[in-house]
Structure 1
Amino acid sequence: MPGPGDSRVKAYRKQVRKGMLPPVLLWRVSGLDCHLILDGHARPAAAIAESVEPSLLQLQLHRMVPHDGLAARIDDAVGFYEDELERFAELRAIHGPTVPDGTAGPRLARLLRDLNTAEQPTWAWPLPGGEDQWRRIAGEVTVGRNWVHAY
């Protein structure tokens, strides 16, 4: 993160004082168990220098569960519900009408809702060609650019 004397930070500090600082764009990466700043590295530095909490904007990526995986999860939820109905029928046979109906309903609703809305881990795949391929690609991207900054 740039220091408080950086020219970008100084410009953003003026925006902080005016209450016009744009939000910092974050991305949640489950494999690292943290958020990464995608855009706006100078903005949190400016906000910190002005003793103001920066506004944050989290990029929320939704991915679809592969169809076969989704079917298995639906089967699990329905299986849970059927087991609960059977369990409650047995309890009612023993204890009579004091056992309430539909106790499994809210849990089933949560299970079904979570099939599409629960936080999913971010995906990553190994790069074909491994480290050598990564270094070749990174070399192509950085040719002619000075990526080293002194802060």
Structure 2
Amino acid sequence: MILDGHARLAAAIAESVEPPLLQLIRTAPDDEVAEGTERAVGRYETEMARRAGLRVRHGDAVPDGAALLGQQLAHDLRELDTARRPSRAWALEGGQERWLRIAHGVSDGQWPPA
């Protein structure tokens, strides 16, 4: 089980309350971030080169696109680290009943809260 701030479970047990939220989030593996970074930078460079070619032919009437494309690149790079990804967690065999037995066992019998 992964809790946002694993201390929340300990605090909930200590306070005899049920944790308000359980959310499993998978972070991006380093190779996925590296590959995504390469793709995003490649798109940025390709579009900047295309716009530079248009500016050579048509002059300053064609915006260079740096401001817009820079924002898109920043967004794409940020998404690599912050985008939601499906968790690769599997349900515990025995379901909630088994989870409650395990939680009860590791919490000195204080789970679930009374």
- 2:39 paired residue number: 76
Separation of aligned partners in 2, 1:121 and 1:106: 26
The counterpart of 2:60, out of the listed 74, 82, 97, is 97
Structure 1 residue identity aligned to 2:60 = P
- 1:121 paired residue number: 86
Q: Per the alignment, do residues 75 and 87 of structure 1 end up closer, same or farther by CA in structure 2, a change over 3 Å counting?
A: same
Deviation string 1:102-130 (CA, Å, 9 cap, x unpaired) is 13111111101111112222223598xxx
Most deviating of 87-96 and 58-67? 58-67
- Which one has a larger percent helix, Structure 1 or Structure 2? 2
Separation of aligned partners in 1, 2:80 and 2:28: 8
Separation of aligned partners in 1, 2:53 and 2:21: 47
Q: Per the alignment, do residues 64 and 92 of structure 1 end up closer, same or farther by CA in structure 2, a change over 3 Å counting?
A: same
- 2:6 paired residue number: none
Separation of aligned partners in 1, 2:77 and 2:53: 25
Q: CA deviation at 1:59?
A: 4.7
Separation of aligned partners in 2, 1:126 and 1:68: 27
RMSD: 3.1
Runs of 5+ unmatched residues, structure 2: 1-17, 102-114
TM-score, reference length from structure 1: 0.43
Contact 2:26 2:84 in 1 (8 A): no
Q: Which has the higher contact order (CA 8 A, sep 6+)?
A: 2
Separation of aligned partners in 2, 1:59 and 1:85: 43
Q: Per the alignment, do residues 97 and 58 of structure 1 end up closer, same or farther by CA in structure 2, a change over 3 Å counting?
A: farther
- 2:10 paired residue number: none
Q: CA deviation at 1:63?
A: 3.0
Structure 2 residue identity aligned to 1:65 = A
Q: Per the alignment, do residues 58 and 96 of structure 1 end up closer, same or farther by CA in structure 2, a change over 3 Å counting?
A: farther
